[in-house]
Chains A and B, each alone.
Chain A
Amino acid sequence: MHNFFRKLSIRARSPPAPKKKSSANNMLKKNSSGLLRFIRNNDKPDEEPTFDMPMHLMIQVIDRMPFFEQIRQSRVCKEIKEHIEEKYSKIKKLELRKRDINEACASDDAFERHSKAYVAVKIEKDTACVVIDDAWVVADFYVFLGILEVLREGVETVEMDAPIAELIVIYMSDISLERWYAFQCILKAFNDVYEDLHLDSGFIADRDTFWPKCSDIVIHATKAQAAALGRILDYGVKSGYVFDRRTMDHLRLEFEDLEGFDEDKAINKQIYYFR
Chain B
Amino acid sequence: MSVEPEVPIVQVEEVRENPVLYKIISSDNHVFTISEHAVKLSKTLWDLITNLGLTAENALDNPIPVENVNGKNMETIVQFCERHKYDEEEPEYTNYIREFVLPEWDRQLLSIDNEELFQLILATNYLDIQKLMDYCCRVIGDMAKDKTPEELRIIYGIPTDAEDDALERSASDSPGPSG
Contacts and interface: CB of A to CB of B under 8 A. Distances in A.
Interface of A: 21, 25, 28-32, 36-37, 40, 46-55, 57-58, 60-67, 69-70, 72-73, 75-78, 109-112, 123-125
B155 A25 contact: no
Contact of A77 (B125, B134, B159): B159
A252 B151 CA distance: 47
B156 A51 contact: yes
20 contacts: A29-B153, A29-B160, A32-B157, A37-B154, A37-B157, A48-B114, A49-B114, A49-B115, A51-B114, A51-B156, A53-B158, A58-B158, A60-B137, A67-B96, A69-B145, A70-B96, A72-B149, A76-B149, A77-B159, A77-B161
Contact of A62 (B93, B133, B141, B148): B141
A51 B155 contact: yes
Contacts of A125: 94-95
A51 B118 contact: yes
A73 B149 contact: yes
A42 to B, nearest CB: 13
Most buried by A among B94, B134, B141: B141
Interface residues of B, number: 39
Nearest to A60: B137
A238 B157 CA distance: 47
B137 to A, nearest CB: 5
Contacts of B144: 61, 65, 73
Interface of B: 93-99, 113-115, 118, 121-122, 125, 133-134, 137-138, 140-141, 144-145, 148-164
A29 B138 CA distance: 25
Contact of A64 (B134, B148, B149, B153): B134
Contacts of A112: 96, 98
Contacts of B150: 21, 25, 28-29
B174 to A, nearest CB: 20
A49 B119 CA distance: 12
Contacts of A60: 133, 137
Most buried by A among B96, B113, B115, B138: B96
Given A29-B153, A52-B156, 11 more contacts: A40-B154, A50-B155, A52-B157, A53-B118, A54-B125, A55-B158, A61-B137, A62-B141, A75-B149, A124-B95, A125-B95
A191 to B, nearest CB: 38
Nearest to A67: B96
Nearest to B138: A64
A76 B163 CA distance: 12
A145 to B, nearest CB: 21
Contact of B154 (A28, A46, A67, A123): A28
A32 B145 contact: no
B176 to A, nearest CB: 25
A66 B155 contact: no
B95 A50 contact: no
Nearest to A56: B125
Contacts of A46: 113
A25 B154 CA distance: 11
Nearest to B133: A60
B56 to A, nearest CB: 35
A52 B119 CA distance: 11
B139 to A, nearest CB: 9
A115 to B, nearest CB: 10
Q: What 10 pairs between A and B have smallest CB-CB spacing? A: A53-B156, A52-B157, A75-B149, A29-B150, A76-B149, A65-B141, A64-B137, A61-B137, A51-B118, A64-B141
A153 B159 CA distance: 28
Contact of B141 (A21, A61, A77, A109): A61
B91 to A, nearest CB: 11
A62 B145 CA distance: 10
Most buried by B among A30, A37, A57, A62: A57
B93 A63 contact: yes
